[in-house]
Structure 1
Amino acid sequence: MDISALLKSLEASGLATKIRDSVYLFPLLESMHVLGLALVFGTISIIDLRLLGLASTQRSFQRMASDILKWTWAAFALTALTGSLMFTTNATVYYHNFYFRAKMLVLALTGINMLFFELTAARTVRDWDQAPSAPRAGKAVAALSLAMWIGVICLGRLIGFTTSRAAAAPPAPAGVSFDDFLGTPNNSGGTPTTPAPHK
């Protein structure tokens, strides 16, 4: 099965159809997705600011991480679930949306960034657990983490904006191509043509 067929099968599934046809389900999922993402960003920001030495510098990093990260993972699971359900309702459009792909890439980079932290600063956490800030590697990870999660939020907003505009755009009249609206050059001078009247 190629990707186009898979996307169409997702859109045609009973669950996707039910979400699309419901007045309340999609807005509910979207609200839960936003709330989950806000909790993910909020809790990660607390950790990152601690690593940078900008907040909660008197607290043990390990103790703080233990208290907070369980909420981060729970919120991330909620965000992933609701995002996946929303994706099924219009999978083809989302899949081909530039901002959706960019968001998925940045999310993957946040995972790589986290792995880098585990392989560097986290291995010596006992040495700096009570220090006001993390070593240089930990600070770099924290700064990148904040930047990337802000990027995820902005890209998510752009997904909603661009897909809404695409859905709202009126279809072109029969016999008129998209190039007609742009004025396709028909000579070496680049002078745009005027769409011919259709009979």
Structure 2
Amino acid sequence: MLVGAAFLFDLRLLGFSKNLPVAGLAKHLLPWSQRGLILIIPSGLLLFITNAQTLGTDFTFWLKIALIAVGALNAWVFHKFIYKIPGVTREEIELPGSSKLSALISISVWIAVVACGRLLAY
């Protein structure tokens, strides 16, 4: 839920489906990402607890944690600075080029997080 909704939003930022307003899509998709985050944090902690000693020394695990931090920082920067322009409603503006960069970073980071999660099993 987290990654799928984020991907759809990022694809819109990259210019796909220009007929959909970014603000409307954000209002619809981003709550799904938040709900997904609420579900995966406890499940991730429980999975970590079951194998903490091995995961604590696994490079792939720490890479995944670092990538999640980069993804969270990217989302924070986007919502705090790029997508927030004072005095202008979001429907009236053309998003800056930095929004495309943020979307590319987001897509790349979340693909890498999913790949690291799959690699942890091996």
2:104 aligns with 143
Percent identity reads: 28
Partner SS, residue 59 of structure 1: coil
Query: Where in structure 2 are there 5+ consecutive unaligned residues?
Result: none
Counterpart contact for 1:128–1:135, Cα < 8 Å:
no
TM-score (norm 1): 0.57
1:45 aligns with 7
Q: Does 1:115 align with 2:105?
A: no
Q: CA RMSD in A?
A: 1.8
Query: Where in structure 1 are there 5+ consecutive unaligned residues?
Result: 1-38, 162-199
2:55 aligns with 94
Q: Shift of residue 129 of structure 1?
A: 3.1
Distance across 2 between alignment mates of 1:95 and 1:88: 10
Q: Shift of residue 130 of structure 1?
A: 5.8
Q: Shift of residue 106 of structure 1?
A: 0.3
Q: Which residue identity lines up with residue 71 of structure 2 in the other structure?
A: T
Counterpart contact for 2:83–2:95, Cα < 8 Å:
no
Q: Shift of residue 135 of structure 1?
A: 1.3
Structure 1 segments, 4+ long, off by >6 Å, are none
Q: Shift of residue 127 of structure 1?
A: 5.8
Alignment of 1:37-186 (within 5 A): 39-54=1-16, 56-124=17-85, 126=88, 129=91, 134-161=95-122
**Across the two proteins, how many residue pairs are aligned to each other?**
121
Q: Shift of residue 79 of structure 1?
A: 1.2
Structure of greater relative contact order (alpha carbons < 8 Å, 6+ residues apart): 2
Flag the 1:48–1:130 CA change in 2: closer, same or farther, 3 A.
farther
TM-score (norm 2): 0.90
Distance across 2 between alignment mates of 1:53 and 1:128: 16
Q: Which residue identity lines up with residue 112 of structure 1 in the other structure?
A: L
Flag the 1:127–1:158 CA change in 2: closer, same or farther, 3 A.
same
Distance across 1 between alignment mates of 2:81 and 2:100: 11
Partner SS, residue 58 of structure 1: coil
